[in-house]
Amino acid sequence: MKLVFLLLLGSILTSSTFSPQYLIWIAPFVPFLTNFERSLFILSSFLTWFYFRYWNDIIALQPMAISLLVTRNALLVLLFFISLLILIRKSK
């Protein structure tokens, strides 16, 4: 399950577009994650919701909106690498 989660998250992170519903694709795998990984996912989902609830327009280039998106993306990248390290450690 962790490998499928990593493949989906990796494809989301490396795609040319990011849509909020992409987080729904990896939501079924959240029960298989550690508490720290779940926290990162929930926080990134909250930041996504918050952004699309209040800004929803990246064209405006508002500093707060951009910082929310950068933080969300950084959390998802961190989640990917932490999950990958956990998977590698468990396989040894």
Per-residue pLDDT reduced to its tens digit, 44-84:
999 989 888 887 666 667 888 888 889 999 999 999 999 99
Number of compact structural domains in the chain: 1
With a CB cutoff of 8 Å and minimum separation 6, the contacts of 5 are: 26, 29, 32, 33, 83
C-beta separation of 9 from 44 below 8 A: no
CA distances from 38 to 4, 23, 47, 74 (A): 16, 13, 14, 15
Distance separating alpha carbons of residues 11 and 39, to the nearest angstrom: 21
- In terms of pTM, does the model score above 0.85? yes
Domain housing 55: 2-91
pLDDT at 60: 66
Q: What is the CB neighbour count within 10 angstroms for residue 40? A: 19
